[in-house]
Amino acid sequence: MGMWMRRRESGRRGRPAVAILVALLFSGAETGAQESAPTAAAARRAAAWGNAQGRLARVPITRTFRDTPLPEAVATIGGDSGVHLRLHERVLARCRGDALRVSARLAGVPAGLALGRILQPLGLALSIDDVGELVVEPDGEGADAAGEGEGGELSAADLAALGRVPISLSFTDAPLADVVAFLREFARMNLVVDERVWQKLGPEERKVSLKLDAVPLSTALRLILTPRKLALTREEGCYLIVPADALEERLVLRLHDLRDLLYSVPDFQAPDLSLLPDGAGVAEAGGGEAAGAAADPQALVDLIKRSSGGDTWQRVRGTSITLSNGILFVVQSAKVQRRVSELVAKLRETR
């Protein structure tokens, strides 16, 4: 079972929050002091996250929640694991009136996976803020039961809804802003262009020439956005047009339990019981095959890394893949995370 964790951003449509805090520049400060401040901040954040990661992977949680308010359940797991957890303002708003409640039985489950079990069904996840604190907030990858995804690629429900709307259009060198306005009015949808799009597109790329007759709205959007390396996502109830590479930079973290792939279970031979007199036919039970590593841990990590993200592991800042106590921590884009999940499932099927 996995858990999604999204990397926090500084603003809804602004630049992504960076892992290193910008040093405060005081007049007369030396260059060396200016450079050391962000480095120290990054080190503190890394140390805080490293400590939390170890506890999430190693501390077992044994609890039973029955229609428990979410804040109480999160505080309980945080207290048991020694990890400080904070609820984002948007989550607190959803908790008003006891709207979010948890029912789960946990028996010796690592804290990270325990949090995943109670947060995922509610469309929530963990993120890491700039000082390494863990924050519960809306899941950035997909949709919850109501289809309200935030900040990631469109959910299957979103794509299906757009595919049910037929549209005909004809544009010749029309400004992209006018085309977006037409689609917004036609489909009665909240469609917004991220500011980074205008920074990215040149004069010619801002012109649209396209003629379509009775095609799904999803197809029309794809034909307009893909040649310009743009993508469509959801954020706070709005459809947002963003640069495609912005989705690569929107990192989430998912935990995968690989203990069943890494360690074999001992196979003890049952004793051979007989009814012969004097116990002559009673054979001792065989010791069986001892438990041991079923796969080389680093080889398994390398296989998953090599088969999922391609060059994004080196190209996109902040991506990582680490194994701790049989729990795989993967920091990547939502698209790569799905590939990792699919690969782990296939490895489990062929084991």
The pTM of this model reads: 0.59
Residue 147 lies in a domain: no
Which of helix, strand or coil describes residue 6?
Answer: strand
Residue 151 lies in a domain: no
Assess whether 180 and 298 both reside in one domain.
Answer: no
Closest alpha carbon to 270 in 285, 290, 280: 285
User: Confidence class of residue 114 from pLDDT cuts 50, 70 and 90?
Assistant: very high
Q: Long-range contact list for 345-348, CB < 8 A, 24+ apart?
A: 347/261, 347/300, 348/260, 348/261
Residue 86 lies in a domain: yes
Residue 283 lies in a domain: yes
Assess whether 76 and 181 both reside in one domain.
Answer: no
Instruction: Please identify, among 222, 247, 272, the residue that sits at the C-terminal boundary of a domain.
Output: 247
Reported as a single tens digit per residue, the pLDDT across 131-176 is 667 888 776 543 332 333 444 566 667 778 888 899 999 999 999 9
Assess whether 235 and 318 both reside in one domain.
Answer: no
Residue 328 lies in a domain: yes
Assess whether 55 and 125 both reside in one domain.
Answer: yes
Q: DSSP letters of 248-317?
A: HHS-EEEEEE-HHHHBPPPBPPPPB----GGGTTPBPPP--BPP-BSS-HHHHHHHHHHTTTTTHHHHST
Assess whether 32 and 130 both reside in one domain.
Answer: yes
Assess whether 281 and 193 both reside in one domain.
Answer: no
CA distance 6 to 77: 19
User: Confidence class of residue 11 from pLDDT cuts 50, 70 and 90?
Assistant: very low
Assess whether 300 and 264 both reside in one domain.
Answer: yes
Mean of the pLDDT values across residues 9-26?
A: 37
Greater confidence, 49 or 257?
Answer: 257
Reported as a single tens digit per residue, the pLDDT across 315-340 is 887 788 989 888 898 888 878 888 89
Tokens of 191: 């469609």
**Domain count of the fold of the chain:** 3
Instruction: Please identify, among 138, 169, 204, the residue that sits at the C-terminal boundary of a domain.
Output: 138
Residue 144 lies in a domain: no
Assess whether 345 and 284 both reside in one domain.
Answer: yes
- CATH code at 207? 3.55.50.30
Assess whether 239 and 264 both reside in one domain.
Answer: no
User: Confidence class of residue 88 from pLDDT cuts 50, 70 and 90?
Assistant: confident
The CA dihedral of 321, 11, 140, 316, to the nearest 10 degrees, is -30
Instruction: Please identify, among 227, 247, 267, the residue that sits at the C-terminal boundary of a domain.
Output: 247
The angle at the Cα of 111, spanning 133 to 138, to the nearest 5 degrees, equals 55
**Average pLDDT over the chain, rounded to whole?**
77
Residue 192 lies in a domain: yes
Domain that holds residue 173: 156-247
User: Confidence class of residue 273 from pLDDT cuts 50, 70 and 90?
Assistant: low
Assess whether 118 and 207 both reside in one domain.
Answer: no
Burial zone of 265 (CB within 10 Å; 0-12 exposed, 13-18 middle, 19+ buried): exposed
Assess whether 323 and 279 both reside in one domain.
Answer: yes
User: Confidence class of residue 343 from pLDDT cuts 50, 70 and 90?
Assistant: very high
Q: Long-range contact list for 269-273, CB < 8 A, 24+ apart?
A: none
Residue 104 lies in a domain: yes
Share of the chain above pLDDT 90, in %: 32
Assess whether 163 and 269 both reside in one domain.
Answer: no
